[in-house]
Chains A and B, each alone.
Chain A
Amino acid sequence: MSQTPTTPSTIIDLIKISKTYHPDIQALADISLHVCQGEIIFLTGASGAGKTTLRRLISRIEKPTKGMIEVAGLDLAKLPRNKIHLLRRKVGTAYQDFKLLSDRTVADNIAIAMEVMYRPSSYIEHRTRTLLDQLDLVKKYSTRAGDLSRGEQQRVAIARAVANNPEIVLADEPTGNLDAETTARVMALFHQLNRQGTTLLIATHDRTLFEGTSHRVIELRFGKIRSAANESPENSDELIGELEEDLISQESEQ
């Protein structure tokens, strides 16, 4: 399947997306959103505003009722079920409910994302240890995921989402259960990935994550985009420059 992106720099393109659940619950209404490669976007809004639905549509867990979605060059409406893995390999997702295998170790939970890509065992182990080190979880390498605290589980879910260095990371409330220090660690990891070119879409209630940031903040209310602060820079170089400054300031704060 050869599909080309809408524009070279657009990685997520949502055009007039609506999603209605049975019987008549409108989760999203006429949403249009263009995300450039290397952007960080904060998605905020009250519970039930449509953040999770938007994330589910982007990772093709659900299909929109109306509208068109293109992600990483793939037209999701034309993507057959047996090709969904092509999308999922480009989009790493940290779920709000973590989706961890509680009877498996932390390492196994992270490795599963790399195993499906047939990565060598040595690479998987090295990458897992590096991520756990960055998220201050290296001591939990062999601990069963079910025995971790919620904050630790959240970090394991994030580690799994970013393990394959995906083009896009969708994070649903990634810092909901974390203290300030751990939140900073998670954000540092996100910024490091972003510096490498990863696009991040972070759904959060935590205003401290985006207050004062130059990144776009999109507020959803009742399934519609209520406001979009800090519009996307036209020039991607400009964008990357801003992101790097952000990371440097974050790291110096730590």
Chain B
Amino acid sequence: MRVLYVVLRQTCRNMLHSWKSQCMTLLTVSLSVLIFSFFFLIYSNALHIGEKLGDDLRLIVYLEEEAAPPLQEEYRHKILKFDQVDRIEFVSSQQAYKRFEQMLGENTDVLTGVPVDFLPPSIEVYPVRTLDSLSRITRFSDYLQTLPGVLKVQYGKEWIDRFYAFIQLMRVIIILSGALLIMTTTFMVAHTIRLTLVSRQQELELLRLVGATNNYIRTPFLFEGALQGCIGASCGIGALLLLFNWITLRFAGPETISHMPFIFFDWPIVCAIIGIATLLCTLGSISAIRRFLHL
């Protein structure tokens, strides 16, 4: 306990001694975490929305003629050979007619005189609702088109393509903001600790002369880096939460937004972001100590 108390007091002294650069570092770490977590929040919500929209996602494979049970098995086998699917449903011409009739409701009289088998039989393929399956859906569609007896394959191509492009863009932004986070945290913390080391050179030399262990001298700087990471990341996440609440309150009215299931990060993700930022800052601190603290 005594050791921890002494080390923490030394850390506080270090931080107070160079409070201006400490504030700058905290601000930089906070902003980096805010930028990264902002895009990550958009990405995770987009995935969530994608899953919801994917509930209605299906590929409709129109067939030239009704598939007999052996042929159905063959189709099933070939489809499963290409990709995992949630389920496969075979719809006969009569079933398609009935559905269409139900859809028309009171206007069924428009079907008067139309043969019951005027709609082609089809296979409804429901892909597994993951982002990977979404990204492969075009290739899946192309593959289904090559199956024997297939007239046409239909799916919500346009929105899937747009959605997939958006997700790809978000991935790039997250990678870039993640790189920014890594660079700023490690560089800024390393820089601040280097400044502290230089400004306290005389004291560090004295500590060695009066019998301080290497750990006694080093540990406060490690704590300093870790504290900068932890406080900075907490501020960044706090700012994101405020922004999130503001956005959800501000845009609560419009129907499009209110139907979107926007959610904030779960606690484990919040803890992981703070933990990673703390770790990065500690690494920055270690690199500064290794380069500039010669014991």
Contact = CB atoms under 8 A, between A and B. Distances in A.
Interface of A: 59, 61, 81-82, 84-89, 93, 99, 101, 112-113, 115-118, 120, 160, 164
B261 interface: no
Nearest to B203: A101
B2 interface: yes
B6 interface: yes
A118 B219 CA distance: 14
A22 B205 CA distance: 23
A59 B205 CA distance: 14
A115 B6 contact: yes
Given A81-B295, A101-B202, A101-B203, A118 B2 contact: yes
Contact of B2 (A61, A86, A99, A120): A120
Given A115-B6, A118-B6, A120-B2, A99 B214 contact: no
Interface string B1-27: 011001000000000000000000000
B206 A99 contact: yes
Contact of A113 (B211, B216, B295): B211
Interface residues of B, number: 17
Contacts of B203: 101, 112
A145 to B, nearest CB: 11
A82 B214 CA distance: 7
A116 B207 contact: yes
Contacts of B213: 82, 85, 116
Contacts of B205: 99
Q: Which 3 A-B pairs have the closest CB atoms?
A: A88-B211, A89-B211, A116-B212
Name the residue in B203, B209, B214 with the highest tally of chain A Cβ atoms < 10 Å from its Cβ: B209
8 contacts: A85-B208, A85-B211, A88-B208, A88-B210, A99-B205, A112-B210, A113-B210, A116-B213
B295 A116 contact: no
A160 B208 contact: no
Interface of B: 2-3, 6, 202-203, 205-214, 216, 295
A118 B3 contact: yes
A120 B1 CA distance: 11
Given A101-B203, A112-B207, A116-B207, A85 B212 contact: yes
Given A101-B202, A101-B203, A84 B6 contact: no
B208 A84 contact: yes
A118 B216 CA distance: 10
A89 B211 CA distance: 5
Name the residue in B3, B210, B216 with the highest tally of chain A Cβ atoms < 10 Å from its Cβ: B210
Contacts of B6: 115, 118
A93 B206 contact: no
A112 B211 CA distance: 10
A101 B205 CA distance: 11
B9 to A, nearest CB: 8
A116 B212 CA distance: 5
A120 B205 CA distance: 23
A84 B209 CA distance: 9
A112 B208 CA distance: 11
A93 B209 contact: yes
Contacts of B206: 99, 101, 112
Contacts of B202: 99, 101
B77 to A, nearest CB: 69
A59 B2 contact: no
Contacts of A82: 213-214, 295
B214 A160 contact: no
B2 A116 contact: no
Nearest to A163: B210
A117 B6 CA distance: 10
A118 B213 CA distance: 11
Contacts of A93: 209
Given A88-B211, A116-B212, A164-B211, 8 more contacts: A59-B209, A82-B214, A87-B211, A88-B209, A99-B202, A99-B205, A99-B209, A116-B216
